[in-house]
Amino acid sequence: MNATFTLLEMRRITRDWGGMFFTAVLPAFFYLIFGATVDAKDASIGNGNVAMYVMISMAAYGAVTATTSIGGNAAVERQQGWGRQLGLTPLADSSYIAMKALIAMTVAAVPVLLTFTLGAATGARGSAGAWALSALLVLAGSSVFALYGLLIGTAFRSEAAVGAAAGTLVIFAFLGNLFIPLSGALLSFAKLTPLYGYAALARYPLTEGYLPDGSHDPLWLPIANVVAWLAIFGALTVVLVRRGRERQ
């Protein structure tokens, strides 16, 4: 992995103030609105409070926004000719992938760090283990959505499509119980959607599987959701990449 190229890519991404706002600042702002200032923020949930529940949710939203955008843009770059340019350099494909993965995880860590810092300063409460493990799960789980971005970028070969993919995360976030608590038939349907398992798993160290409506998710459910969507995104991406090579 080329350190100079990695730093240049990081500078290019962080110079996009609009993208960084939606990735890092907006989730933290949502936490302040939905978590830090609501009357129920001190209500107990699991081994902590509602403020921490919302904090983890908003950090997860910011992290997947980052990894989706970076994964999608990486696919578009290579399909629009950047891959041929890199082929003239000593940079191997494995190094390029490692570089993009490092950048995605670094950028995804920004909203996690910012939102967790605000949470600590505004009354989010939970066990020490819940704080540490939730942060790790938020960051690690967001890598699944780098595949989602890669899938969209490969399918449509357009930066606009990648932006639209990031936009669809808002819908997934609602269905994932990130913004408002769901119940009834809508909750049952939501458990099949991509962000539900990731968010539920990230909050599991806090909630121990209990939902705001009083129901309970066994640990296997969010794990199965994450594994299933990882397999779906991965398989579809492989199919599209192979088709693209056949056309060439």
Mean pLDDT of the chain: 84
CA dist., res. 59 & res. 116, Å (int): 7
CA dist., res. 110 & res. 116, Å (int): 10
**3 state SS of 217:** coil
Contact 72, 152 (CB under 8 A): yes
Phi, then psi, of 198 in degrees rounded to 5:
-60, -50
Give the pLDDT score at 127: 94
Q: Where are the domains of the chain?
A: 3-247
pLDDT tens-digit map of 66-108 = 888 888 776 666 665 655 555 555 555 556 666 777 788 888 9
**3 state SS of 205:** helix
CA dist., res. 29 & res. 22, Å (int): 10
CA dist., res. 142 & res. 150, Å (int): 13
Give the count of beta carbons closer than 10 Å to the beta carbon of residue 89.
Answer: 11
Long-range own/partner contacts, residues 4-8 (CB < 8 A, 24 or more apart): 5/91, 5/99, 6/99, 6/102, 6/103
pLDDT-derived band at 117 (thresholds 50, 70, 90) equals very high
Give the pLDDT score at 180: 87
Mention every residue, 6+ apart, whose C-beta is less than 8 A from residue 239. none
pLDDT tens-digit map of 169-204 = 999 999 988 998 898 899 999 999 999 999 999 999
| Closest to 210 measured CA to CA, from 231, 247, 170, 181 | 181
- Asked whether the whole model's pTM tops 0.85, one would answer yes
Q: Where are the alpha helices (DSSP H) in 15-92?
A: 17-20, 26-31, 50-77, 83-87
Distances in Å between the Cα of 246 and the Cα atoms of 83, 217, 240 are 17, 44, 10
